[in-house]
């Protein structure tokens, strides 16, 4: 569905040199997307027990952080759209929510104030960026109270109407400006990292990521083999000692050179950049310095996401890529920290790519199982190093392609820079 404009241009003066056109009408029609109807997705219950709603009901979301409602809306062109959110909040307190468009937070902690009663509906209106075609719009509550009841969103695209009798703009003969140059920063372990010491194997998928992008993108791969999220952030200061909470002691609490480089105000992350983060393979080690507990893992993901956002960059979380592990003739999952990655993503309004699931799905598509444990022969030998974890360059290239496809499939705006 699209917002519709009715625009008429009439020739009012014609000379040998030019024809002057004027706009005579311009009417925009907003498109309504009901919260109770597909393709909207409500994390809660569809109810109709409070009057005044539109359609056949409304979304009563679960009372939990991140338990939101998501709409799939259509825009006729890239640019901005006017978004009207209709809701009812019968409590006495604000129920704020992050507003995400295509996985990126565009309005953190949007106020959804009390309306006085559940049958009393209010509308809040704001402007958001959209891509041409399909877009996801999500309201994700930031407190344990959850969302108010959500009735619908209305979307108007196409900009402001041209008032009559303003002249219609003549066709442009100037080429549009080129897309801005951005940097994609990668943080992760050996399954993401560049080969070290000139060796051909292992090669992480980050080493093969740049060819999927146009020349407007620079990929800076700062992944490092053998690192947990904490050792990547604090090398060489994570000790072998645990504190009373069972976490590795960091002393002194000073960032690694690789993280400091990303934070540098001159040469580090800048507005429009992206930070892709994939850990979770080494973090489950039982001993320090690599050990990271569940809560600490989420805390460090949050810290990295906040640092990117503070610089105008966009964080993206990835679950850890799967090794090759077969159950009979089927490749299966084998990594941890999946829940922690998804929980941190929901809590911080960060898009998450489930590379764990996508990678073992790829292995099944390629019919890797069974392979009899021989990593030197056949399609598995051309994909993996002589172990169950790391990739040859050809395998890394296919995993990088999986990540690139996920950017498109999930409408993450970075996909606009893909070839």
In the predicted model, what is the mean pLDDT of the chain?
87
How far is residue 388 from each of residues 179, 203, 358, 393, 394, measured CA to CA in Å?
A: 40, 13, 17, 15, 15
pLDDT band, very low/low/confident/very high, at 395 (cuts 50, 70, 90): very high
Residue for token pair 């960026």: 129
pLDDT of residue 334: 93
pLDDT band, very low/low/confident/very high, at 151 (cuts 50, 70, 90): very high
pLDDT band, very low/low/confident/very high, at 374 (cuts 50, 70, 90): low
Q: How far apart are CA 267 and CA 262, in angstroms?
A: 8
pLDDT of residue 9: 47
Helix (H, G, I), strand (E, B) or coil at 27: strand
pLDDT band, very low/low/confident/very high, at 119 (cuts 50, 70, 90): confident
- The DSSP 8-state label assigned to residue 289 in this structure reads T
Q: How far apart are CA 221 and CA 160, in angstroms?
A: 42
Helix (H, G, I), strand (E, B) or coil at 334: coil
Beta bridge partners of 314: 274
Question: To 10 degrees, the CA torsion angle through 312, 313, 317, 323?
Answer: -170
For the ranges 115-129, 181-195, 229-243, 312-326, which has the lowest average pLDDT? 115-129
The pLDDT of residue 172 is above 90: no
Tokens describing residue 291: 């050990």
The answer to whether 162 and 7 are in contact (CB under 8 A) is: yes
Mean pLDDT (whole number) for 86-92: 91
Residue for token pair 């959850």: 146
Helix (H, G, I), strand (E, B) or coil at 81: strand
pLDDT of residue 179: 62
For the ranges 51-55, 181-185, 411-415, which has the lowest average pLDDT? 51-55
Tokens describing residue 196: 């070290």
Tokens describing residue 256: 């690694």
Mean pLDDT (whole number) for 372-399: 83
Between CA 407 and CA 415, with CA 411 as vertex, the angle to 5 degrees is 45
Pick the closest to residue 325 from 280, 356, 279, 283 (CA basis): 356
Beta bridge partners of 258: none
For the ranges 40-54, 279-293, 362-376, 398-412, which has the lowest average pLDDT? 362-376
H/E run at residue 213: none
The pLDDT of residue 329 is above 70: yes
Mean pLDDT (whole number) for 276-293: 97
Q: How far apart are CA 157 and CA 302, in angstroms?
A: 33
Question: What is the percentage of the chain residues whose pLDDT exceeds 70?
Answer: 87
pLDDT of residue 408: 95
pLDDT band, very low/low/confident/very high, at 368 (cuts 50, 70, 90): confident
pLDDT band, very low/low/confident/very high, at 170 (cuts 50, 70, 90): low
pLDDT of residue 159: 45
Between CA 20 and CA 32, with CA 26 as vertex, the angle to 5 degrees is 155
pLDDT digits (tens, 9 = 90+) for 232-270: 999 999 999 999 999 999 999 999 999 999 999 999 999
pLDDT, greater one: 198 or 195 = 195
The answer to whether 36 and 54 are in contact (CB under 8 A) is: no
The pLDDT of residue 165 is above 60: no
Nearest-Å Rg of the Cα atoms of the chain is 25
How far is residue 402 from each of residues 305, 334, 361, 368, measured CA to CA in Å?
A: 22, 18, 10, 16
pLDDT band, very low/low/confident/very high, at 372 (cuts 50, 70, 90): low
pLDDT, greater one: 17 or 75 = 75
The pLDDT of residue 40 is above 70: yes
């Amino acid at each position: 569905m699209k917002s519709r404009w009715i625009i008429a241009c009439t020739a009012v003066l014609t000379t040998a040199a030019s024809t002057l056109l004027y706009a005579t009408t311009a009417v925009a029609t907003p498109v309504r997307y009901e919260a109770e109807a597909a393709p909207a997705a409500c994390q809660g219950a569809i109810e109709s027990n409070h009057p005044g709603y539109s359609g056949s009901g409304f979304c009563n979301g679960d009372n939990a952080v991140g338990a939101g409602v998501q709409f799939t809306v259509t825009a006729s062109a890239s640019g901005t759209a006017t978004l009207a959110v209709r809701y009812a909040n019968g409590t006495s307190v604000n129920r704020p929510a992050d507003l995400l468009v295509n996985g990126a937070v565009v309005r953190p902690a949007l106020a959804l104030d009390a309306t006085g009663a559940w049958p009393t509906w209010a509308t809040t209106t704001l402007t958001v960026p959209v891509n041409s075609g399909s877009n996801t719009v999500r309201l994700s509550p930031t407190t344990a109270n959850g969302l108010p009841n959500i009735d619908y969103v209305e979307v108007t695209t196409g900009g402001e109407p041209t008032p009559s009798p303003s002249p219609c703009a003549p066709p442009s003969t100037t080429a549009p400006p080129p897309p801005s140059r951005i940097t994609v920063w990668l943080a992760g372990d050996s399954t993401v990292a560049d080969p070290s010491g000139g060796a051909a194997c292992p090669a992480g998928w980050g080493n093969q990521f740049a060819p999927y992008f146009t020349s407007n993108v620079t990929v800076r791969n700062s992944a490092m083999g053998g690192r947990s999220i904490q050792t990547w952030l604090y090398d060489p200061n994570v000790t072998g000692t645990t504190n009373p909470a069972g976490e590795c002691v960091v002393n002194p609490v000073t960032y690694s050179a690789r993280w400091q480089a990303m934070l540098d105000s001159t040469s580090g992350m800048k507005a429009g950049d992206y930070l892709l983060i994939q850990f979770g393979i080494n973090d489950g080690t039982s001993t320090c310095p690599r050990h990271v507990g569940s809560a600490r893992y989420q805390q460090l993901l949050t810290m990295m996401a906040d640092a990117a956002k503070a610089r105008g960059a966009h964080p993206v979380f990835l679950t850890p890529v799967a090794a090759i592990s077969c159950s009979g003739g089927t490749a299966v999952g084998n990594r941890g920290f999946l829940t922690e990655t998804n929980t941190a993503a929901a809590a911080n309004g960060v898009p998450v790519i489930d590379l764990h699931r996508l990678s073992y799905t790829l292995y099944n598509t390629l019919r890797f199982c069974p392979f009899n444990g021989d990593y030197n022969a056949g399609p598995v030998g051309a994909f993996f190093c002589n172990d169950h974890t790391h990739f040859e360059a050809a395998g890394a290239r296919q995993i990088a392609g999986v990540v690139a496809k996920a950017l498109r499939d999930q409408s993450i705006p970075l996909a606009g820079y893909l070839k």
